[in-house]
Amino acid sequence: MNKLGVHALVWVGGWSHDECTKAIEQTAALGYDLIEIAALEPKSFDAAFTRKVLERNKLGITMSLGLDDACDISSTDPERVKRGEQKLRDALALGRDVGVTHMCGILYSGFQKYSVPPTEKGMAHSVEVLQRLCAEAAKSNITIGLEVVNRYESNVLNTAAQAVEFCQRIGASNCKVHLDTYHMNIEEADIEAAIRQTGDYLGYFHIGESNRGYLGAGSIDFDKIFRGLAQIGYTGPITFESFSSAVVNQQLSGILAIWRNLWDDGFDLARHAKAFIEANLRSAHEAHARSQKGFG
């Protein structure tokens, strides 16, 4: 069974001691295996405290982030690339200190809407920086997940096929594709085929609805998603992502365009998500096992 996680923004918008304790305790209380934190501001993050609370609650941790325009490693401007590499290294150092297993997100470009396509020179910069980041991450057994996002959040990786090819260019065994159902629903022609074609390159998975609210209350065909995951025998983490104007992180909520209130009660939302994911995973694996045995 996959490790199941929940994004910290279901609970809290920041990471003060109180917020950290609340997010970790609630996640553990629901029986999740891990929490995913947004490492946007490593400097205001108490790693030692976080690690202590995680250990007390026997919870795992992963982290995600996106680069901003000034730190865009897919830029042709060497200064931005340099700043971006430093930002990624700082985030990785923080991840190492809190004990993350995965560092994911839009690590390969800016987390923003572009008005021009990427350039070959910029893509080459991104590949070089990520090769060095993967080598550094490998020393701490950290997997790097490149999140495929919709066209309004990056111009570099919008489909699973592009991400597989990008990972092949980077050529590091700890460099994996990070898929997210919310983005796939916008960009992939066939979400089940996209998961199948990613295959062993899949290293991290976000489950989110089309409106980023309660699972099942939007338009995503989750049968296809879970069938795809069962078919490739995916064993990595599955993290639930949901955002509402009820919990705000000024920086992240703005870029993600979280304007509407989709829910007020994060606990009920996360409890429902866990049951939803577990039930659907179980059915998909059961159906897959039977089809393999020829019971159809």
By CB under 5 A, name the binding residues for Mn ion: 180, 206, 241
DSSP string computed for the chain: ---EEEEGGGT-SS--HHHHHHHHHHHHHTT-SEEEEE-S-GGG--HHHHHHHHHHTT-EEEEEEEE-GGG-TTSS-HHHHHHHHHHHHHHHHHHHHHT-SEEEEEEEEESS--SS---HHHHHHHHHHHHHHHHHHHTTTPEEEEE---TTT-SS--SHHHHHHHHHHH--TTEEEEEEHHHHHHH-S-HHHHHHHHGGGEEEEEE--TTSSSTTSSS--HHHHHHHHHHTT--S-EEE----TTS--HHHHHHHT--S---S-HHHHHHHHHHHHHHHHHHHHHHHHHHHHT--
Q: Cα–Cα distance between 149 and 127 in angstroms, integer?
A: 17
Beta bridge partners of 223: none
Per the residue annotation, which of 85, 147, 188, 192 is the catalytic one? 147
Q: Cα–Cα distance between 30 and 40 in angstroms, integer?
A: 26
Per the residue annotation, which of 36, 85, 188, 241 is the catalytic one? 241
Question: CB of residue 291 vs Mn ion: minimum separation in angstroms?
Answer: 30
Pick the closer one to Mn ion by CB: 106 or 167.
106
Question: CB of residue 287 vs Mn ion: minimum separation in angstroms?
Answer: 26
Pick the closer one to Mn ion by CB: 57 or 150.
150
Pick the closer one to Mn ion by CB: 53 or 188.
188
Our answer to whether residue 147 is catalytic in this structure is: yes
Decide the pairing of beta strands 60-67 and 102-110: parallel
Decide the pairing of beta strands 34-38 and 60-67: parallel
Question: CB of residue 147 vs Mn ion: minimum separation in angstroms?
Answer: 6
Question: CB of residue 149 vs Mn ion: minimum separation in angstroms?
Answer: 7
Question: CB of residue 290 vs Mn ion: minimum separation in angstroms?
Answer: 31
Pick the closer one to Mn ion by CB: 33 or 36.
36
Our answer to whether residue 79 is catalytic in this structure is: no
Pick the closer one to Mn ion by CB: 192 or 241.
241
Pick the closer one to Mn ion by CB: 87 or 206.
206
Question: CB of residue 5 vs Mn ion: minimum separation in angstroms?
Answer: 12
Active-site residues: which are they?
A: 147, 241
